[in-house]
Structure 1
Amino acid sequence: MSSQATLDAPVVIAGAGPVGLVLALELSHQGVRSILVERQPTTTTFPKMDVTNARSMELLARLGLADLVRAAGVPSQHSFDVIFASSLAGREFGRWRLPSVDEMRAEIAGCTDGSAPAEPWQRAMQADVEAVLMRRCLEDDMVDVQRPWRVTGVTQDADVVETTIVHANTGERRVLRSAYAVGCDGARSQVRASLGIEQEGAEEVATFALVHFRSRDRERLQAHGQFWHLFFATGGIVISQDEDEVWTVHSQVPPETQPGSVDPVAVVRNVCGVPVEIDEMLEHTIWRPNVLVADRYRAGRVFLAGDACHQVIPTGGYGMNTGLADAVDLGWKLAAVIDGWGGEALLDSYEAERRPVALRNRDWSFRHLSVHLQMPERADVALIDDDSDAGARHRAELGEFVAANNGENTSVGIELGYVYARSPVVASTAEDEPPELDPLVYRPTTFPGARAPHVPLADGGSILSCFSRGFTLVDHGAPDPARLLDAAAALGVPMTHVALGPDAASASVYERRLVLVRPDGHVAWRGDDAPDDCDALVAHVTGRGERVATASATAKESAA
């Protein structure tokens, strides 16, 4: 088993949801082949996530995918407004006003201080996002899509991973040999089970009925105007999936409720408070969210990503979006190691960087859900639509509660402000203190481990477009960038020099004259001058410090 001479591919990926698809495309972007194994013959038909956040859109833009996702999503003129009302026939008592993609683009264009993302959010069903990503993978010669094949087990030794797969229709069994394997196979991950990795958190924290349907009854459904989400005082929700005819209703139901025991038409009627004409029933089920994070993200040559290692409640949109960042983080690191310029510590850094983000996002998703779970307790259904002064006061009280708890869709600090401060492959000085995270506010910084801020370049594009393959040295007038560039070249590390000059508008945003940025757009190091030991810095940020130090010592001994 130990020989790598007969590998089927450098990487095998189990699961072709959005995370597995993006991981395959990230590896391809970095020049690495993969086999993508999926048990279903087609992409999902369930809506699942309905927003791709700004950070995810930035990461997708690196891969040339942002425009494709936008084309599959809601047209750019529609707002992200969230409405709170008693029912479709009742009173509105609160609204979170959230801008459209067009409005966000205008805000971004007018922002030069680094506080804005490079890309707006995008409303799009996960089902549509998956379909777009799968088409791209099927067109990519570097991605070998195998479906419908089910992963039944993963074994490994010091050199090779063997992934056993079984065809869903014929029962044919195959064993795929690879240098690495990644489980992107969801909440019930077979890869995680094969590794014996446990999870911490809580299971089935609530029970919901989901009804996904087509309806042209917009007069009733949009009785309160255009919306993205419409929450009712009774606890139900309607989601406008495409601003046309596709909708999803969620309703909390008793914990013992089983799939097939609920009438989906009745669920829609009860949630909306009025009968809605349903043209086509697309999907309906019972679902139970978990808030779980895996104890480990890695076991030897096998890794976990996405729902296989973290499960969150959909409130806040942290599920798929957290997973996409996992895929990019792990993808470039695997490619660096496979290409020979990344070391073992680079792979270790994946868990060190991504697991704390998952823990925080898990907890904040539960916090957002608690706002909605409180609504039925606070609302007096007999009073909320009353024309009396008491009814008006009650609606005002509910409106104040809604306005005071609007972080679900405005926690830009959660989306953009996380910092890999404790990563073993970022370099900071002793006097550097990591910035304190404000979940609701993003404050641009180039502190090592942070997302490098977006600033516009002279050609109108974003500086983030420079961060894609290899490292990038952003230079605002340092006297000696060549020493660091030469050290990278000598160690075989790809590094691009972006010279902007000391008078560039981005100089104050980037805080230091030299900022070294990784392929995923996170800062690896910063300083006003190149460090004394450039070799050591390059070795550190590529995860092979010990190996390079040993080689340097050997070279010095030989010279002596």
Structure 2
Amino acid sequence: MPASAEPFDVIVAGAGPAGFCTAIDLGRRGVTCLLLERRPATAPWPKMDRTNARSMEFFRRIGIADRIRDLGFPPDMPMDVFLMTRLSEPPVAVLPFPSVAEWRTRIGRTHDGSLPLEPYQLVAQNKVEPLLKEVAESTPNVTVRHGCEVTDFEQDDAGVTVTVRRANGEDITARARYLVGCDGGVSTVRKRLNIKLEGEGSIRELRQVIFYSADLFDKIPYGKGRHYTFLDPAESFTIVVQGDRKEFTLHTSLPEDADFKAVIARLVGYPCDIKILHVLTWRYHLLLAERYRDRRVFLAGDSAHLVIPTGGLGMNTALGDAFDLSWKLAGAIRGWGGPGLLDSYELERRPVGAHNVACSGWAASGVPIWQSLVKPHVLEDTSDGADLRHEIAKSFKINHGRMHSMRGAEFGYTYAGSAILDEDSRPETWDTIAYTPNTRPGARAPHMWLSDGRPLQDVVGNWYTLLVFGSEFDFSEFEAAFRAIGAPLTVLRLDEPHMRKLYDRSMFLLRPDMHIAWRGDATPANVGKLVDRVTGRTQH
């Protein structure tokens, strides 16, 4: 990568899930992309543990959903969450959550759009990232470079010149039309832009203890699951099972020099091999970047928003950023996207970021509610101890359950009111917990099964798609308008009467990210005006 190298269309700083997915989707859309990561390799330790349904739909769109699942919990393994005294003793409370196989059965029987196409998946980030690296490196137009840190950049009217420090200390430069900062919570890109984070930082300091055990999970006598939280009068402990069921994380506020092997052995309560791999200190944050863009430079993922991990809205929100921004950058680079297309990235994604930061705080605030009930006699084998555990169990199910019940936040968000949607679209809010499918502009197109058994998401195009219900409609004006500006359009004529209760218009225009841009029962009076709007060519 010499300084005189051929310029790229996009440089992405940071090869976490957001950076990898931005690069992969850009590459598959014909955009040349350089992905730079300061670390010499992918992350060695687990971080996130749950990839939600919407993220799995994204992974399906780029063809790797099954490969992601192969790295995590097997399909028949429940996702239950437990409150325990010790793993060797019966649980105090259980929050049951279906396995992937159970979800697939439910989804297969559901025809009203209320469920996503893909179930969630438990899989560790240190297993996901090597796969994403492999996919990125095999994607045409994508160049991946580890051991290369973005230290500075300058932008002008034509592009961005990036200063890169190699692992040997050598500084080189690279050039691109756009730069995307996916370089995490301490983002160099964000700091160089002087973009501030708003909200609450360093709320609480915790230790994450990564340990390995070949037999701990198999020996659990009272139910297999993914999270085990423990009742303790003096300290808070949670053991998170990673996707391979051999690697685990203990979350606690004990000091870094604590005897964690002894602590884990006490929490487990039966003989098993335990090997401490790593202890790291991390802090709770609820922060949102005041801006997501500065001219030709964009922020995505943790560089734009930091959440408390409870609720699983960190990486999953980051993937939403990646798959919103990538197609818009591609449209701008290919020449059919107007300035409003890139403007819409912040206008659409920052409200989602704000909502998810708030949701994360709400989910986390449920834990102290049930923990406040814990008293010194909570573990005693007495009637008072049993009564107290029963009271705590009721509170645990309600308040700890917050972090596992945010389906509305996960895939019910909407871009309604965006300037690149139907001009009649008005801003909407969405529920944190409940998801009610709808086909208004801005919403994610609800999953539906076609009569031949295929899912709608698998038959729509990778760019814009016009769904046409019925044979009497002439869509030639749409084809002509998209062709006139060079924007790709797939027309999909459907004869699916069972879909019409939810898809209650005759035509739907879907964006590349599967959100609805427009719907109607007849061709608009000025199709060119609509196409200019949804491609960002209309000036507002």
2:283 pairs, out of 288, 292, 299, with: 288
1:185-200 pair list within 5 angstroms? 185-200=183-198
Please report how far the alpha carbon of residue 76 of structure 1 lies from its aligned counterpart in structure 2 after TM superposition. Answer: 1.0
Q: For residue 499 of structure 2, what is the aligned residue in structure 1?
A: 506
C-alpha contact (below 8 Å) 1:186/1:307 kept by paired residues: yes
Runs (5+) with no aligned partner, structure 2: none
Contact 1:444 1:453 in 2 (8 A): yes
Amino acid at match of 1:131: P
Q: Scaled by the length of structure 2, what TM-score is found?
A: 0.94
Are 2:336 and 1:337 aligned? no
Q: Residues 318 and 275 from structure 1, CA distance in 2 versus in 1: closer, same or farther, beyond 3 angstroms? A: same
* Contact 1:213-1:278 within 8 A present in 2 as well: no
Q: Is residue 537 of structure 1 aligned with residue 538 of structure 2?
A: no
Aligned residue for 2:467, secondary structure, equals strand
Q: Any unmatched runs of 5+ in structure 1? A: 548-560
Match of 1:448 in 2: 441
Kindly tell me: are residues 127 and 219 of structure 1, through their superposed partners in 2, closer, same or farther at Cα, counting changes over 3 Å?
closer
Aligned to 2:251: 250
Cα 1:263–1:383 change in 2 (3 A) is closer
- SS in structure 2 at match of 1:441: coil
1:150 aligns to 2:149 (yes or no): yes
CA displacement 1:262-317 (0-9 Å, x = unmatched): 443244346x2747644432221111121111000000100000001100011110
Which of the residues 260, 265, 268 maps onto 2:264?
Answer: 268
Question: Percent of aligned positions with the same letter in both sequences?
Answer: 38
Is 1:370 aligned to residue 365 of structure 2? yes
2:476 aligned partner: 482
Three-state SS of the structure 1 residue aligned to 2:372 is helix
- Closer, same or farther: CA 455–220 of 1 in aligned 2, 3 Å: closer
SS at match of 1:155: strand
Q: CA deviation at 1:515?
A: 0.8
Q: CA RMSD in A?
A: 2.0
Contact 2:461/2:490 (<8 A) preserved: no
Question: Residues 223 and 112 (structure 1 numbering): CA distance in 2 closer, same or farther, change over 3 Å?
Answer: same
Cα distance per residue 1:199-254 (max 9 Å; x no partner): 1011111111111111134279624321110111232101111353221111124x
The letter of the residue matching 1:366 is G
Q: Which AA in structure 2 matches 1:495?
A: L
Aligned to 1:554: none
Deviation at 1:437, TM superposition (A): 1.9
Which stretch of the first structure deviates more once superposed, 121-130 or 227-236? 227-236
Matched, 1:179 2:173: no
Question: Does the alignment pair 1:65 with 2:64?
Answer: yes
Which deviates more from structure 2 when the two are superposed, residues 37-46 or residues 400-409? 400-409
Taking a change above 3 Å as real, the CA distance of residues 241 and 381 of structure 1, as seen in their structure-2 partners, is farther
Q: Does the 8 Å contact 1:481/1:530 carry over to 2? A: yes
Instruction: Answer yes or no: is the 8 Å Cα contact 1:434–1:447 preserved in 2.
Output: no
Do the aligned partners of 2:407 and 2:434 also contact (CA within 8 Å) in 1? Answer: yes
Deviations 1:434-476 (A, max 9, x none): 6652221111111111100000123322111234522001111
The 3-state SS of whatever aligns with 1:102 is helix
CA distance in 2, matches of 1:286, 1:266: 19
Q: Which amino acid aligns with 2:491?
A: H
1:393 maps to 387
Count of residues paired in the alignment:
532
1:37-52 alignment runs, 5 A limit: 37-52=36-51
TM norm structure 1: 0.91
Query: Is 190-199 or 281-290 further displaced after alignment?
Result: 281-290
| Aligned-partner residue type, residue 264 of structure 1 | F
Amino acid paired to 1:127: N
Task: State yes or no: 1:461 paired with 2:454.
Answer: yes
Q: Is the 8 A contact 2:123 2:243 kept in 1?
A: yes
Q: Distance in 2 between matches of 1:499 and 1:399?
A: 52
Report the equivalent of 1:107.
Answer: 106
8 Å CA contact 1:27, 1:34 repeated in 2:
yes
Q: Distance in 2 between matches of 1:251 and 1:266?
A: 14
Is residue 2:305 matched to residue 1:310? Answer: yes
Change (3 A) 1:276 1:449: farther
1:133 maps to which residue? 132
Tell me the amino acid that sits aligned with residue 253 of structure 2. Q
What letter is aligned with 1:333?
K
Counterpart contact for 1:154–1:195, Cα < 8 Å: no
Which whole-Å CA distance do the structure 2 matches of 1:81 and 1:135 have between them? 31
What is the letter of the counterpart of residue 300 of structure 1? R
Please show how residues 198-217 of structure 1 align to structure 2 within 5 Å.
Answer: 198-217=196-215
Q: C-alpha separation between the residues in 1 aligned to 2:212 and 2:229?
A: 19
CA–CA distance in structure 2, aligned partners of residues 171 and 125 of structure 1 = 32
Distance in 2 (alpha carbons) for counterparts of 1:154 and 1:223: 56
Q: Corresponding residue for 1:29? A: 28
CA distance in 2, matches of 1:291, 1:229: 22
Is residue 156 of structure 2 the alignment partner of residue 162 of structure 1? no
Q: How far apart are the structure 2 equivalents of 1:186 and 1:98? A: 31
Partner of 1:350: 345
**AA of the residue aligned to 1:146:** R
Alpha-carbon distance in 2 for matches of 1:422, 1:475: 24
User: 1:49-104, CA deviations, whole angstroms, 9 ceiling, x for partnerless residues?
Assistant: 00110000001111011111111111111011001123334552211110001001
Cα pair distance change 1:276/1:137, threshold 3 Å = farther
Q: What is the alpha-carbon distance in structure 1 between the residues aligned to residue 111 and residue 428 of structure 2?
A: 21
Which residue number in structure 1 is paired with residue 117 of structure 2? Answer: 118
Distance in 2, Cα, partners of 1:218 & 1:267? 14
Alignment correspondent of 1:558: none
Distance in 2 separating the partners of 1:286 and 1:416: 31
Aligned counterpart, 1:222 = 220
Measured in 1, the distance between the counterparts of 2:294 and 2:409 equals 28
SS at structure 1 position matched to 2:498: coil
Counterpart residue identity of residue 206, structure 1? R
Partner secondary structure for residue 72 of structure 1: coil
Deviation at 1:500? 0.9
Report deviation, 1:404.
2.1
1:374: how far off?
3.1
Tell me the distance in 1 between the aligned counterparts of 2:36 and 2:271. 40
Q: How far apart in 1 are the matches of 2:473 and 2:137?
A: 47
* Aligned counterparts of 1:490 and 1:433: Cα–Cα separation in 2: 28
SS of alignment partner, residue 377 of structure 2: coil
CA contact (8 A) 1:454 1:462 kept: yes
CA distance in 2, matches of 1:89, 1:111: 38
Q: What does residue 556 of structure 1 align with?
A: none
Compared with structure 1, are the counterparts of its residues 163 and 436 closer, same or farther at alpha carbon in structure 2 (3 Å cutoff)? closer
CA distance in 2, matches of 1:135, 1:219: 29
Indicate the SS of the match to 2:94: strand
Q: 2:518 and 2:135 mapped to 1: Cα distance?
A: 34
Helix, strand or coil: the match of 2:35? strand
Which residue identity is paired with 1:103?
E
- Identify which range, 297-306 or 285-294, moves more after superposition: 285-294
Bigger Cα displacement from structure 2, 11-20 vs 471-480: 471-480
